[in-house]
Structure 1
Amino acid sequence: MVASAAILFALGTLHLAYTFVGDKLTPRDPALQVRMRDVSPVITKETNMWRCWVGFNASHSIAAMLFGLVYGFLAIAHASILFSSQYLLVVGLLTVGGFFVLGKLYWFSIPFIGIGISLVCYVASIVAALA
């Protein structure tokens, strides 16, 4: 469980850094970024697609980091509570599983593989706890 949490925390932290530092999450076509700054989403004119892009990337990163922090802490400091709570185990499985599906459908191989390893570690920790 600690390995699963650490992987997602690391991926989230790296993604957050890439969101605000460097050009890793910017379009290869600079004109697209300019256009994203000019166009608002249908839901509101109070923002633009570039700001949405940055915000979605940042909040996505924070979610992965939060999972890592909470489940890592529980696994280390309160393992008996974590592994005896079907609620926490299901919520965690749905979270990691959701990231895994999103990774397959929308992302690229490196995060998908990392999340896959995290998912395997997560499930293995539950199987080991039940044994």
Structure 2
Amino acid sequence: MSLFYYRVFDFILSFATERHPNTYRMQNVQRATLRQALNMEISINKNQVARICLILASVILLFFGILHLHGTFFSTDLYPSDLGLIEKLKTATIQMDESGIIWKLWIGFNAMFSVGLIFIGSVNLYLSTKHFEFIRGNNPILTLTICSNIFFVWIGNRYMISDFAISMAIPLIFFAIGYLIIQLKRLTT
């Protein structure tokens, strides 16, 4: 939209220049000032788009982390459908340690995974909303977040259900878009 206003303004100034040649120098200064203002506005809009992408990705991770935590402790959504298998898992142990009961490890793993998603989502949400300049200037944070999400998508495709892979791919896409906008903005400034 800003580019449209710039072109309209430039078009109007071109007519004024033809009619009043003495004002040509002043109009060039006005055009340069307008270009700078529009470039700043476009730059701010890119920052806002990157920030919104990071916020959306963070909220999605946070949501799925809370949903997974709920599914672990407050529902049977993550339980095996075979009730006999649950009983076997409650008595089976791992080879490394006899006290490692498979069922407790399953619940513990799901709880830790949930907290990991909640942590990643919360930290990125906080940084994206309160300290965007910090997250924009620190590649390692976004890079590690994107790498974590790539790993989640890979694990989801390889070992888990497709819904999980999709639920991790969506924030990955938003994080990647936000990251790319930030990197492209660095290259152009």
Shorter chain as normaliser: what TM range?
over 0.9
Residue of structure 1 in register with 2:126 after alignment: 73
Matched residue, 2:164 = 111
Give unpaired runs (5+ residues) of structure 1.
none
Point out 4+ residue stretches in structure 1 off by more than 3 angstroms: none
Q: Is the 8 A contact 2:93 2:99 kept in 1?
A: yes
Q: Does 1:122 align with 2:175?
A: yes
Q: Which residue of the partner structure matches residue 35 of structure 2?
A: none
Partner of 1:94: 147
For 1:60, which of 113, 131, 135 is the aligned residue? 113
Consecutive unaligned residues in structure 2, runs of 5 or more: 1-53
TM-score of the pair, normalised by structure 2:
0.67
Matched, 1:17 2:98: no
Deviation at 1:117, TM superposition (A): 1.0
Give the Cα separation in 2 of the matches to 1:39 and 1:114.
31
Task: Name the counterpart of 2:4.
Answer: none
Which of 1 and 2 has greater Rg? 2
How far off its partner does 1:2 sit?
0.7
TM-score by length of 1: 0.95
* Greater relative contact order (CA < 8 Å, ≥ 6 in sequence): 1
* 1:51 partnered with 2:104: yes
Give the CA deviation at 1:23: 1.2
Q: Check conservation: 1:11, 1:111, Cα contact below 8 A.
A: no
Q: Write 1 or 2 for the structure with the bigger share of helix.
A: 2
Q: What is the CA–CA distance in structure 1 between the aligned matches of 2:155 and 2:136, rounded to whole Å?
A: 26
CA shift digits 1:83-119 (9 cap, x unpaired): 1112112211111111111111122122211211111
